[in-house]
Amino acid sequence: MVAGRYLIVNADDFGQSYGVSQGIIEAHEHGIVTSASLMVRWPAASAAAAYAQKHSTFSLGLHFDFAEWTYRDATWVCQYEVVRGDDPQAVAEEIARQLAAFRLLVGRDPTHLDSHQHAHREEPFRSALIQLARELAIPVRHFSPDIRYCGNFYGQTGTGAPIPEAISVDHLTETLEGLAPGLTELGCHPGYGHDLQSMYCRERAWEVKTLCDPRVRQVLSAERIELRSFSQLTGS
| Residue whose C-alpha is closest to residue 79's, from 87, 89, 71 | 71
Helix (H) or strand (E) holding 9: strand 5-14
CB within 8 Å of 91: residues ≥ 6 apart: 66, 83, 84, 85, 124, 125, 128
**pLDDT of the chain, 236 residues: tens digit per residue:** 347 999 999 999 999 999 999 999 999 999 999 999 999 999 999 999 999 999 988 999 999 999 999 888 878 899 999 999 999 999 999 999 999 999 999 999 999 999 999 999 999 999 999 999 999 999 999 999 999 999 999 999 988 899 999 999 999 999 999 999 999 999 999 999 889 988 899 999 999 999 999 999 999 999 999 999 999 886 55
pLDDT of amino acid 158: 87
Eight-state DSSP code of residue 156: B
- Alpha-carbon distance of 195 to 19, in angstroms, equals 6
- Name the helix (H) or strand (E) containing 86: none
Q: Catalytic site residue 213?
A: no
Q: Is 178 helix (H, G, I), strand (E, B) or coil?
A: coil
Which architecture, in CATH terms, is 5-234?
A: Alpha-Beta Barrel (3.20)
Q: How far is CA 87 from CA 78, 92, 208, in A?
A: 17, 9, 38
Contacts 24+ apart (CB under 8 A), 31-34: 31/190, 31/208, 31/211, 31/212, 31/213, 31/216, 32/7, 32/211, 32/216, 32/217, 32/220, 32/227, 33/9, 33/188, 33/190, 33/211, 34/8, 34/9, 34/10, 34/58, 34/59, 34/227, 34/228, 34/229
Greatest CA separation for the chain: 53
Contact 20, 13 (CB under 8 A): yes
Q: Find the DSSP H helices in the chain.
A: 18-29, 45-54, 88-106, 125-136, 169-177, 202-211, 214-222, 230-234
So where are the chain's domains? 5-234
